[in-house]
Amino acid sequence: MHQPGLMMNRPLLISGVLSHGASQFAEQEIVSRETHGPLHRYTFGQMAQRAAQLAHALRGLGLRPGSMVGSIAWNNHRHLEAYYAVSGSGMVMHTCNPRLHPDQLAYIINHAEDEVVCFDATFAPLVRELAPRCPTVKAWICLTDAANQVAIEGGPGVLVYEDLIAPHSTEFDWPVLDETAGAALCYTSGTTGHPKGVLYSHRALVLNATTACLPAVLCLSPQEAVLPVVPMFHINGWCIPYAALISGAKLVLPGPKLDAPSLYGLMEAERVTVGGAVPTIWLGVAQHLEQLGAGLSSLKRICVGGTAMPEALIAKYQERYGVEVRHGWGMTETTAIATLSALGPQDLKRPPQERYALLAKQGKPLPGIEIQVVDERGHPLPKDGTSQGELMVRGAWIVERYYKADRSALVDGWFPTGDIATIDASGVLTIRDRVKDVIKSGGEWISSIDLESAAMAHPAVAMAAVIGIPHPKWDERPLLFIVRKPQHTLEKQEVLDFLHTRVAKWWVPDDVRFVDALPVGGTGKVQKNVLRQWYATGEPQAA
Ligand code: ADP
């Protein structure tokens, strides 16, 4: 029999994160881009007071612990207050991705049974469309003040956030909850079938957010200023909104302005040292800097994930801008970051190209997370860097069961990710594909991620994406879509010759299509289903 530990059993709660941030770093700044344009500036202490006011206001609307509160909002200070007020008072913060199809949004709001939905003025047309289809929602709150409020003609009555919270006390008696209680809810984007809800517990969020502060992860402290470009409406903004209060780091929220010039301006003006975003954002920022001939004067490191970060872009950030890239893997079902690239002491002695190649892999699991790859029968494969199979994950912040599902999502205690991966002897994960994107040619797998990364290394390529297309002899062959950089010429043969020097001969695509832009979905990923439609219909015409 084990000795029971004799420590206090105090729960890990979002309200604890709020109280800690507000008391230990009361004067630390939160800078937030308002939806109507200007920057808003206040402190952790003031944010906590307004979160308390919102918690009272939600109670006043009749909500109780366990109630669901939706949000359709940018990364801004009112959304942040909702994060803390809702979860802190025992309700569930259901962040909705505004870029989902309205049918899917109506589905998830109904499935979650949201009682209140907070939204930014940008999304007023969407709310007008959703309101008649969402009978459980008794109040729509516009995250704004009286001067900037929106009336939705022919739509639901709208409450104005500032008016709603103004009469209430700036103190709230945050309840002591069970740490396993649900705090936040996010749905997968459901490219196949209905979106599925992942209900994060307080414990999962606090553990992930605390881990995110570690030196080897985001390395947050009161000396840092962190910019989550990654949306708070998807995967908890990688838990950065919580990690800032845990670590005392200044928090900079970009609001709706996610274009490269705005982000660059914000990073420079607010002396941002750490950024988190998907690769397409960093690609845009790099292109903008090239056009300006400018550099980054405060940014020290960026955390990227959501899709693979091409090696060439990692090299560019390090060599040209002195910015370290940390490349991570995670999914809705893993709360936020689950693995992250890292260089060990031996790696620092390697030549730069080898280091960039290593950083382009998805790295090692964060503490508390375990990974393995399995074959089609579920048997674990060797960690040899070449045996590839489905990635399985388990740990303290991994989903066990989808919201309202009656069965566990696990297989032998592990969550099957739908990603195809290898793990090498030192534990480094490489994502090769998603199961549904895999290209099987002549019985062998071609990694679309590796091919895309190879194509992106060409100096005239802005973006690249690969899909598998049917082939009578080989079953499938890769087809490469390319967006050229502005003012660059590039022909098919040049691309193929370039790829011949970088990948196995049989991986080189049979054809290359040049297009003006790639279809990018709500979470910054290229929509390969749209590319398959383009292939099937011959659209769009080559650029
Ligand atoms: P969806 O893409 O369906 O919106 P998620 O946002 O949860 O859902 O995305 C999770 C998926 O994104 C992972 O399963 C994986 O396929 C992909 N992904 C995440 N990070 C990386 C990365 N660093 N490299 C390659 N793929 C990644």
Q: How far is the CA of 437 from the centre of ligand 1 (A)?
A: 12
Three-state SS string over 20-47 comes to HHHHHCCCCEEEEECCCCCEEEEEHHHH
Cα distance between residue 185 and residue 4, in whole Å: 33
| Ligand 1 pocket mutation, candidates 419, 430, 433, 456, criterion most atoms within 8 A of CB | 419
Q: Which atom of ligand 1 is least distant from the CA of 304?
A: 23
pLDDT of 543 strictly over 60: no
Cα distance between residue 541 and residue 520, in whole Å: 18
Indicate whether residue 523 lines ligand 1 (CB < 6 A): yes
Indicate whether residue 420 lines ligand 1 (CB < 6 A): no
CA angle 47, 49, 53 (to 5 degrees): 110
488 vs 250: which has the higher pLDDT: 250
Indicate whether residue 316 lines ligand 1 (CB < 6 A): no
Indicate whether residue 308 lines ligand 1 (CB < 6 A): yes
pLDDT of 522 strictly over 80: no
Residue 356 DSSP label: H
Please report the domains of the chain, with CATH numbers, ordered by start residue.
14-26+43-211 (3.40.50.12780), 370-394+403-435 (2.30.38.10), 439-537 (3.30.300.30)
pLDDT of 385 strictly over 90: yes
CA angle 276, 277, 280 (to 5 degrees): 155
Q: Please tell me the pTM assigned to this model.
A: 0.93
Indicate whether residue 189 lines ligand 1 (CB < 6 A): yes
pLDDT of 191 strictly over 70: no
Contact 470, 430 (CB under 8 A): no
CA angle 143, 242, 227 (to 5 degrees): 75
Number of other residues whose CB lies within 10 A of the CB of residue 440: 13
Cα distance between residue 60 and residue 69, in whole Å: 14
Nearby residues of 432 by Cβ (< 8 Å), 6 or more positions away: 388, 420, 421, 422, 438, 445, 447, 449, 450
Residues pairing with 69 in the sheet:
93, 116
pLDDT of 324 strictly over 80: yes
Give the pLDDT band (50/70/90) at residue 540: confident
218, 220, 223, 226 alpha-carbon torsion, rounded to 10° = 60
Q: Which atom of ligand 1 is least distant from the CA of 418?
A: 14
Give the pLDDT band (50/70/90) at residue 154: confident
- Which residues carry out catalysis? 188, 333, 440, 445
Contact 390, 418 (CB under 8 A): yes
94-124 residue pLDDT tens: 999 998 889 999 999 999 999 999 999 999 9
Of 52-61, 148-157, 219-228, 310-319, give the lowest mean pLDDT range: 148-157
